[in-house]
Amino acid sequence: MSLLIGNIGSLVTNDPALGDGPLGLLSDAAVVVDGDTVAWVGPAGKAPAADGSVDAAGRALLPGFVDSHSHLVFAGDRTAEFNARMSGRAYEAGGIRTTVAATRAASDAELNANVTRYLAEMLRQGTTTVEVKSGYGLSTVDEARSLRIAAGHTQETTYLGAHVVGPEFADDPAGYVDLVAGEMLEACAPYARWVDVFCERGAFDGDQARAVLTAGAAKGLQPRIHANQLSHGPGVQLAVELGAASADHCTHLTDRDVAALADGTTVATLLPGAEFSTRAPYPDARRLLDAGARVALSTDCNPGSSFTSSMPFCLAVAVREMGMTPDEAVHAATAGGALALRRTDVGRISPGARADLHLLDAPSHVHLAYRPGVPLTAAVWQGGVRKV
């Protein structure tokens, strides 16, 4: 079955060969989908016939968002912690460890239902590709279980046994790193595409991160890193040195870090939901873009530091607070995310791409930043199937 989407007022292709600028913008355009793939893109007046058709009524169509950083396998929430933080009160409970305890206590069915629920929430806001990390199990059994559940929903699964040191190893962090790079990795590798480390003071240092990432790479997992979120540190340099697909957060960067990202193949993935939800200073996207670094935007959806599933929200914050233009933010949330996952089949609308399409109730993609907080998603196709 083929489908013609016609009368598109403004089309973001992310293919500069098809239209204007880096977004490859076309006006008065049409797209033809054949099965799960984009078959044709061009001026509405020249569109070939198809089995069915949809009238976009002059509205904007863009690629489905690619959310390349989320932590969806968890149970419970941390309402009290957030409320205390936003009320200027100290909070005594254990942060990530609260979620670890709830996640370990949850059944497979409960964890699976949570992942299903948050992915559906994302889809309703135009997100069609999602990376999902483990990291709230912190034992061999619970990390492997988290990844097995995630792998039932997405091919972009990330082993994050090195999120924080597991509670049983509070006095033996070196022993925990050995576990993460050994037995736990062995159990998790069959369900994971990526390996990640939270490289930060209070989590894992550069040497520990290197040990985990190189052990993961030896098992066929590709590296990505939580880097330079709370302070300056070795994460970004390590990411670039190891050829990681992405260095995520990038909030505290030296000039040398920025230059390394600009010169390397590692994408700088910015997660403004985390700074928003912790009242922290935002990363400087303008500095990275002006230096020539590739930038992605993602939600970091997790119950502790960024409990948003909304790419439109992150995009609006990035424009308002991080110096991005609306075009740059839309690019980072679609093509940028695809690059951060080393995917060429998503994040663009051009022949051969997967038919992941997001129709807005708006005449332009700029409305995603211009009308913050407004539900603008009119329709979503995932692999050519209408989902919203």
- Considering beta carbons, is residue 135 or 347 the nearer one to Zn ion? 135
**Nearer CB in complex with Zn ion: 15/200:** 200
The residue number whose beta carbon is nearest to Zn ion equals: 300
Closest separation in Å from C-beta 270 to Zn ion: 12
Residue 300 Cβ, how far from Zn ion at the closest point, in Å? 5
Question: Per CB under 5 A, does 156 bind Zn ion?
Answer: no
State the Cα–Cα distance between residues 129 and 111, nearest whole angstrom: 19
User: Which among 275-283, 294-302, 333-341, 374-382 is the span making contact with Zn ion, rule CB under 5 A?
Assistant: 294-302
Q: How far is the CB of 191 from Zn ion (least distance, A)?
A: 18
Q: Does 300 bind Zn ion (CB under 5 A)?
A: yes
Does residue number 200 form part of the binding site for Zn ion (CB under 5 A)? no
Q: Which stretch binds Zn ion (CB under 5 A): 53-61, 279-287, 292-300, 365-373?
A: 292-300
Q: Cβ closer to Zn ion: 257 or 300?
A: 300
Shortest approach of Zn ion to residue 256 CB, angstroms?
A: 24
Pick between residue 15 and residue 300 the one whose CB is nearest to Zn ion: 300
Q: Residue 300 or 328: which CB sits closer to Zn ion? A: 300
**Binders of Zn ion: how many residues, by CB under 5 A?**
1
Query: Which residues fall within 8 angstroms of residue 59, CB to CB, at 6 or more apart?
Result: 8, 9, 10, 359, 360, 361, 362, 363, 378
By C-beta, is 67 or 300 nearer to Zn ion? Answer: 300
**Residues near Zn ion (CB under 5 A):** 300
